[in-house]
Amino acid sequence: MKFGFIGLGLIGGSIALTIRQKMPDSKIVAYNRSAAPLEQALENGTIDHGTHSIDESFAGCDFIFLCAPVNTNISFLPELKKYLTDHTILTDVGSVKGIIHDAVERAVPFAHFIGGHPMAGSEKSGFANSSDHLIENAYYILTPSNAATEADIEKYTALVRDLGAIPLRISPADHDLITAAVSHVPHLIAYSLVQLIKETDTPEQYMKLIAAGGFKDITRIASSDPTMWEQICLENAENIRYVLSEYTMRLSDMGEMVENAEGQKLNKLFGDIKNYRDSIQDGVKGSIGKVYDLHCDLIDETGAIATIATILSTKGISIKNIGIIHNRTYEQGALRIEFYDNDSRQHASDTLIKHGYTIYQN
């Protein structure tokens, strides 16, 4: 099969890497504005051909993935038109679907377009941070257009499964409301929480000093790319406004319960929410990247961290981040170690337990 990529950033690069791993005989061509990602992808064998223009390289593709910002994707549709045939499935990877479906309908209404959204990501961006297992066990939403046939949908569904992801067919409108609730508004909440600390901190910046542990975890996604989230907010504005309105109404209700000292109501509300939250399936990737970390009891002595790092290194376990937790209000264990995947975390946990360390995992 032949695959074309418009844009080779984190998501496009990760899908291309996964295709290369799972389907090594495939032909992969890619357009990218800047040279570095193409050079790196050619050097490591991810792609067979790289180009800085939409040209004949994209002729005969079974799939063409639009992986640039949505306005860039839309601007390339007229140039791609000549390379789209009845056996070409055109798709994208954006987190907002309505705007791209409308654009495709206007520019290339005959295109066999199926919107695609792998529900996986990272606070990091660019091809250099792409991974051949980023979409593994992640929901991969498909939003077929009217021009897409059932055969097209079956073909794309099979590809998603072959790449290790979980296909989920949804309408574009439902997709945009769902992602507003589970991804877009949570990012805005994270940004606003950090803004709250920044703007209400004491002159000594004590809030910032102790804002570790749970606070840093729940605001982790505020480290995401500002330009990308500006675009998402503008592209899905109606749904985001609706979900934000629903959210602020619930915050206001909680505020009234606190003000009126309605302890029983708060307890019941928190209990119901806890039960619902605990029922959310684990083990499947969602729209917000999962953190693979553990906490370890640690005696404060010279070389303690170096010893643990050495133990894990000798077992070939890569550490993404490591550090002492000074604010442990919501944490167990003084040392937090973050890994790139769950297998590494479990291997590290088993290894450290064998060496006599006490380990805590969420």
pLDDT at 325: 67
Confidence of residue 221 (pLDDT cuts 50, 70, 90): confident
Task: Tally Cβ neighbours within 10 Å of residue 205.
Answer: 12
Amino acid 294: pLDDT: 85
pLDDT on residue 156: 98
Ranking 146-150, 164-168, 303-307 by mean pLDDT, the lowest is 303-307
Mean pLDDT of 165-192: 95
Kindly give the pairing relationship between strand 27-31 and strand 49-51: parallel
228 has pLDDT over 80 = yes
Answer yes or no: is pLDDT of 185 > 90.
yes
Q: Give the type of residue at 127.
A: F
The predicted structure's pLDDT at residue 304: 83
pLDDT surpasses 90 at 120:
no
pLDDT at 332: 52
**pLDDT surpasses 80 at 124:** no
Label residue 277 exposed, middle or buried (CB < 10 Å: 0-12, 13-18, 19+).
Answer: exposed
pLDDT tens, position by position, 293-309: 888 877 667 788 888 88
| Position 330 confidence tier, pLDDT thresholds 50, 70, 90 | very low
User: b vs e for 15-52, b when ≥16 Cβ sit within 10 Å of the residue's Cβ?
Assistant: bbbbbbeeeeeebbbbbbeeeebbebbeeeebbbbbbe
- DSSP-based three-state secondary structure for 271: helix
The backbone region for 55, taken as left when phi is positive above 0, alpha when psi lies in -120 to 50, beta otherwise, is beta
Higher-pLDDT residue of 206 and 64 is 64
Give mean pLDDT, residues 135-164. 95
Cα 209 from Cα 222, distance rounded (Å): 17
Residue 164 has pLDDT above 80, yes or no: yes
pLDDT of residue 329: 46
Q: Is the pLDDT of residue 77 over 50?
A: yes
Using pLDDT thresholds of 50, 70 and 90, give the confidence band for residue 250.
very high
pLDDT over 80 at 16, yes or no: yes
Does 122 have pLDDT greater than 80? no
Q: What are phi and psi of 290, to 5 degrees?
A: -85, 145
Spatial distance between the Cα atoms of 34 and 11, rounded to a whole number of angstroms: 16
Helix (H, G, I), strand (E, B) or coil at 169: strand
Interval 228-255 mean pLDDT: 95
CA 248, 251, 255, 256 dihedral sign is positive
Q: How confident is the model at residue 13 (pLDDT cuts 50, 70, 90)?
A: very high
* Domains defined along the chain, listed by start: 2-170 (3.40.50.720), 176-278 (1.10.3660.10), 292-360 (3.30.70.260)
